[in-house]
Structure 1
């Protein structure tokens, strides 16, 4: 038998996939997520390793997690402190690169996976050689409605636009592959693409890391896609009361950093002024709703962006007096502008509320 015949008869190598799940004081959620991942490993056309990273949990939580994983086919790595979403998953990304994995699946521990999802994600990457990242459709874990699918940035308005209709999402990502970004809840990345871009941006700690890595992938010539036949169920905050203060801080700071970093040249005129204007307006709106601690967290997020202070959240400190004074003055200015807009509206012209400069 010839060498050529031997080569034909040898089965193709299964792609190696590293699943990375972060745990931070959420053992019950992590175990439920692992239950759904276990089913995936059994049916996925891949050689799958599941890695759980305990991200500096309390001692009792870390001990409970370690005990629960003894009987599972899971690798556990414990970090001495919380490195955030970015730092925790970067430990796994470095491992995937070092040990030659083909793909790495960053999966939130508050999600559960519908059977066959990993198979669909792997197939999407294999079908598109320049696809660097693929997400499933994300559905609300309580009601099953689509929460995230295909997203794109409206640079002129400095907003994210969500496409939640499957057919519209299909048309958009086929027509505009360079504009798509996906939520970071359950993204399967091609390791080669992460070699090109570098890991997640540790300055962010958490939030806007998915926007950022999607943009960096596109800038390096990779596509970002959504596998529209794959589903992951995920918890979604719906009420303001569900947002912890560190989240308000990180969203404000990281949105400004993201837009400052990635806004295309055609939309950068007076960009920093516009970002500060919007941040101040958001802080004012929190005050108007009586959410003074939220307002303070947003102000500190804005201030740390301007000072170039990044990393873990730093919202548990007093707002400088000058910044609080500026917020109160801005509140009066926005009130006057909105009152004038209402007067214009009563004269029969289109109503308009305050927008960024």
Structure 2
């Protein structure tokens, strides 16, 4: 039986991690095309931090509750839902609302748990895989035999990009902020990992690659990285921007570096994409990536699991950047 009330993470006003609290409120109801999921686990992501700080307000049609990815059991169906039924174990990209015991999601944005996965591992798949697939492979057009540079290689996005890049035949270079993080990147499949705190990544890559350059760069830093990224691009290279953790402003941007390489500078944010666009990404993942996960390859790297009531501590860990891989909230045993 579905209860009328649930626990969720409330945020009365933007602020530090302590601004969050566990509250009780009504269980949401699925609209047409949506399913209601009993949430067993929820992934934590950088956009959650930005939203909590007031820097990334949710779209008008989104839940104000934090949380962009969950795993759990389908317990109710809205009208016109096809391909899912109650009792199905799914992970889902959500339009907010994931930090709760129940969450609604577009049925088309749900994917089955890969073979052998539990809720914890399934919960950390959607946000990273939707982001990496749409940016590295669709916008960036990464092809077998090309070279991919992943900045922030030890992050959830980074670890996913390294594994999928290697899985689909690319040579992968990663940057990370410590020797331990670089070692983790290499263990996941990076051919070269560079400690950006100790080394100049541009100089190291130029020494390693010579004049060949890098075909695709996935960057979440921006700022001072942008001119260096452009100088590293191979002919017809693609720089894909997904965040600006250092700065959205760029000094020293020389368009001639772009022109002489016939390069492309592109980027995206995932949350504002239309439901149809997200559904198309989910369909591509089901066809191209889920068989890889079913086969036991490219499993997500989880740094730590937190009880639901420890969400403040989990956000502090995310903000410290001390983790390698993903952080996940556990809401219920399964």
Name the larger-Rg structure.
1
Higher-RCO chain (CA-CA 8 Å, sequence separation at least 6): 2
Coarse TM-score class (shorter-chain normalised): under 0.3
Q: TM-score, normalised by structure 2?
A: 0.28
Give the structure with the larger helix fraction.
1
Q: TM-score, normalised by structure 1?
A: 0.26
Give the structure with the larger strand fraction.
2
